[in-house]
Structure 1
Amino acid sequence: MVMEAGLDEVARFLELADPPARPNARSARRVMAAVAWHLRTGGGWRALPDGFLPWRTVYGWFRRWVDKGLFAVLMRTLARRQRRCCGRRPTPRLAIIDTQSVKCIGVRGPRGYDAAKRVVGRKRVLMVDAEGHILAMTIVPANVQDCDTLSALDEGKPYWPSLRLGLFDSVFRAKRCEEWCNLHGMRRRVVEKDPDQKGFVVLERRWIV
C-alpha cells in the first residue's frame, strides 16, 4: 500500500511538471510502475514483463524526465517536505558528505579501480542532511580520490544555499576540500577517530550518511 501511494504521488508530480502534449498519452502512473520494477529488480528495459507498457515507451518517458531534471527536483522537494515532518526547517544548515565504492561492469559509463577498497566500479558521492535525506548525489569512477569527488557535487550544492557546515571523515583533510567548502560558503569539520580506537566504531553524526 505504501508503494502504491508513493507511485501515485510521484506520478502526480510528473504530470504537473511535464503535462502530456496529447490526451491519449500514456499515464505517468503506468510509466512509473514499470520504472519501479526496473529499479527494484535491476532487470533490463527490454526484460519488462507482460502487463507493463512497451519498454521503448517506458524508457522514452524515463529519459525525457531525466533530461528535464525532474527526478532531481522531486528529490529536493521530498527532502524539504520530510524535514518539515521531522519538525525541522525545510532548508538545512548541516551537510554530511561521504563516498561509497561499488562494483559494476563496464557498461553505461566509465569505471575505475579503487585501490583502498579493492573495488572495480564506480563511486557514489552523497551529501545528506542531519536526518539522512539526500540533498545531492553524483557518481564518478571508483579510481577518483575522495578529495577530488567534491567538485562532482557542484551542480547539486547551489540548490541548498542555506548550508553552513559540512561534516567529513579523515580522508577529506586535504586543503582542496577546505577550499571547496569555502567556495560554497560552508565551514569544514573533519570528524576524527579516537587515537585509541580499535576496529570499527561509529563516529559522531558520521553514521547518518
Structure 2
Amino acid sequence: MCVCTCKPAYDSSVTDGQWAVIEPLLPRTNPSLGGRPAVHSRRLIIDTISYVLASGCAWRLVPHDLAPWNTAYQVFSAWTADGTWDRIHDVLRDRVRDRDGRDPQPSAAVLDSQSVKTSEGGEEIGYDAGKRIRGRKRHLLVDTLGLLLVGIVHSASVQDRAGARRVLSGIRRRFPVLGLVWVDGGYVNSVDAGLVSWARRWENLEVVAVPRHADVKGFQVLPRRWVVERTFGWLTRCRRLARDYERKTDHAEAMIKFAMIRLMAARLAGEDLEPQGPIETEAARRLADEHQD
C-alpha cells in the first residue's frame, strides 16, 4: 500500500516552512501498528493533531481526508509517553531564544496558574473554590519571552503554593542559571512566606511577588506578569485548550507543548501564528518600552 503524502489545505495544517523546522526532529518512523508498516505520512499525522488542537473537535470527528483518528491518537499518545514532544519543544525553545539573542539557559522566569473546566471525567479533577471552577489547573513557568519552561497540569483543588512547588522542584537541574522567579501576590503573603523560604533553601531561587493594585478593579496588566498572561492567551486561542478535554494529565500537558511547538516553528520559519488582540497589543507596547529602557 502506498504512503499517503497529500497535504489537505486546512488553516491548521503546517506550512512547508514549519514542516522544514519540525520534520528533522521527529522520529524517523511512526509508532508501529501491530508490526505493520506506516500507511500515513508523519506530516499528515501532525496535520491531524493540529486540526484537533486548533478546532477543538473530538478525535473521532476529524475529517476523512486527514489521517484516521485512531492512528493520529495512537501516535500522539506514543510520542507523549516516550518524550518526543518534550524533546522537540525544548530544542525549538532554545533555537528561538538563540535567534532572539538570548542565552538558551534563562536566568529569570514567570510563574502562574490557570484553572480550566474539564469535560466528563478523567484524572485529577477537583474544585477551585477561589475561581469557582471544577476541573484542572495549568501551572506554567515561562521565560521572559513567554516561552514555556515547565508546564504541569493537576487538579484545580491544589493550592497555588503547593502547585508552585511541583513546578519548581528540581528546576535548577534543568536550568542551572535560573535565579529569579516572578509570581502573583497570591503565592506569597505576610501570613505564609513558606514558598519564598522553601525556594531559597532548596532550589536557590529568589521568588518575587508582583502585587496587584488594591484600588484598581478588574483586569490589570502587571509588570513582568503580563508575559505569562500572554502565554495563556496564546494557548487558549487553540480551541482544544479553551477547556481541558483530555482524560489524562500527561496528554493535557502534551497538548500544551504541541501548541507551543506550532507557535515556535512558525516563528523560526519567519511566519506569524500569534493572535492579535488586546493582550498582545498591550504586551507589544510594554516590550517596546522595556527595550527602550
Q: Do Structure 1 and Structure 2 share a fold, with TM-score over 0.5?
A: yes
Matching residue of 2:5:
none
Q: In 2 relative to 1, CA 75–97 (structure 1 residues): closer, same or farther, beyond 3 Å?
A: same
Aligned-pair identity in percent equals 30
TM alignment of 1:10-49, pairs within 5 A: 10-15=22-27, 24-25=37-38, 26-49=40-63
Paired positions, count:
207
Amino acid corresponding to residue 152 of structure 1 in structure 2: R
User: TM-score, normalization: structure 1?
Assistant: 0.87
Higher relative contact order (CA 8 A, sep 6+): 2
In the alignment, structure 1 residue 93 sits paired with structure 2 residue 107: yes
More off after superposition, 42-51 vs 137-146: 42-51
CA contact (8 A) 2:180 2:206 kept: yes
Q: 2-side partners of 1:204 and 1:153: how far apart?
A: 22
In the alignment, structure 1 residue 3 sits paired with structure 2 residue 3: no
TM alignment of 1:149-188, pairs within 5 A: 149-153=163-167, 157=171, 158-173=173-188, 174-182=192-200, 183-188=202-207
TM alignment of 1:89-128, pairs within 5 A: 89-128=103-142
Q: Deviations over 1:117-156 (max 9, x none)?
A: 1111111100000111111101111111111102332578
More off after superposition, 57-66 vs 168-177: 168-177
CA contact (8 A) 1:7 1:32 kept: no
Matching residue of 2:87:
73
SS state at 2:52 partner: helix
More off after superposition, 185-194 vs 123-132: 185-194
Q: In 2 relative to 1, CA 45–156 (structure 1 residues): closer, same or farther, beyond 3 Å?
A: farther
Q: 2-side partners of 1:184 and 1:63: how far apart?
A: 32
CA contact (8 A) 1:150 1:180 kept: no
Q: In 2 relative to 1, CA 123–59 (structure 1 residues): closer, same or farther, beyond 3 Å?
A: same
SS state at 1:149 partner: helix
Q: CA deviation at 1:55?
A: 1.8
Higher percent of residues as strand: 1
SS state at 1:151 partner: helix
Amino acid corresponding to residue 154 of structure 2 in structure 1: V
SS state at 2:71 partner: helix
Q: 2-side partners of 1:30 and 1:156: how far apart?
A: 37
Q: In 2 relative to 1, CA 19–117 (structure 1 residues): closer, same or farther, beyond 3 Å?
A: closer
Out of 123, 144, 147, the residue aligned to residue 158 of structure 2 is: 144
Q: 1-side partners of 2:168 and 2:149: how far apart?
A: 12
Q: 1-side partners of 2:31 and 2:79: how far apart?
A: 12
Q: CA deviation at 1:34?
A: 0.7
Q: CA deviation at 1:3?
A: 3.4
Q: 2-side partners of 1:37 and 1:20: how far apart?
A: 20
Q: In 2 relative to 1, CA 48–160 (structure 1 residues): closer, same or farther, beyond 3 Å?
A: same
User: TM-score, normalization: structure 2?
Assistant: 0.64
CA contact (8 A) 1:128 1:136 kept: yes
Q: In 2 relative to 1, CA 62–20 (structure 1 residues): closer, same or farther, beyond 3 Å?
A: closer
Matching residue of 1:131:
145
Amino acid corresponding to residue 14 of structure 2 in structure 1: M
Amino acid corresponding to residue 3 of structure 1 in structure 2: V
Q: In 2 relative to 1, CA 45–180 (structure 1 residues): closer, same or farther, beyond 3 Å?
A: farther
Q: In 2 relative to 1, CA 126–46 (structure 1 residues): closer, same or farther, beyond 3 Å?
A: same
Amino acid corresponding to residue 223 of structure 2 in structure 1: E
